[in-house]
Amino acid sequence: MGVCTCFHINTFATNFYRNNLKLKMEDDDYERAVRNAVPITSWLKRLLPYEKDLFDHGELKNITHDGASAVWLESPSTIPKPGQTNVYRPMGDIEAKYLVANGQLPNTQPYQAIIEGQEGREYANKYLTGKKWTKTHPTTIVEFTSPIELIETLKKRQIKVEDGAMSMGLGNKAGKGLDIFNEKMDDPPVLLGSYGLEKVWDGRDKPF
């Protein structure tokens, strides 16, 4: 058993190092994008109220590149504490507005996937960059910092691999775990943390 225990500890340490290395590389890319961003002052009126508020408070920063056909806002990923993990969900304006107003995900999506880890963020980002498509037309990536125990429970209900990322469906045509996920958002001891509107693609009116 000693050998197995050491193996699991080393595996955790290796994964922790890899994940934090990815976050460091992501942060470098993010800072570079912020430095190279073009001004969007004349287009701020196109942002939704919660997007504008996050932008004004520096929680989202402009990373819009020269020649872009939309406004891009982004913030770096949260580094989860021990016992926590990040999961990501790309969502359209209707779902994002509901989340902001109610602090919970709506019961409107049949699959409603959340995707774990940095691979999950990269996968979610494909819906904003056009590499993936869904009829809900995602404009926003939302990050939830969640208890690992909760995510492992959801995995037992439904899980599949999406381009190398681990995806769990919360909807009634998937794992049906939405109520559990929403309940934990209201439970202070295992609070998921304030959801972070990670990347906003404001392409509603093609401003550029």
Q: Does 208 reside within a domain?
A: no
Please count the structural domains in the chain. 1
Instruction: Kindly report the length of the chain.
Output: 208
Domain assignment present for 106: yes
The answer to whether position 207 is within a domain reads no
Helix, strand or coil for residue 85? Answer: strand
pLDDT in tens, 178-200: 999 998 875 432 232 234 455 66
Q: With H, G, I as helix, E, B as strand and everything else as coil, classify residue 200.
A: strand
- Residue 174, token pair as written in the block: 């998937």
The C-alpha atoms of residue 185 and residue 47 are separated, in whole angstroms, by 26
Q: Which domain holds residue 62?
A: 2-202
185 within a domain of the structure (yes/no): yes
| 146 is a domain residue | yes
Query: 157 pLDDT exceeds 90?
Result: yes
Asked if residue 197 is part of any domain, the answer here is yes
Q: How many CA atoms lie within 13 A of 175 on its CB side?
A: 22
Confidence of residue 70 (pLDDT cuts 50, 70, 90): confident
Q: Is the pTM of this model over 0.85?
A: no
Top pLDDT among 5 and 66 is at 66
pLDDT at 13: 32
Pairing of strands 140-147, 160-162: unpaired
Residue 39 lies in a domain: yes
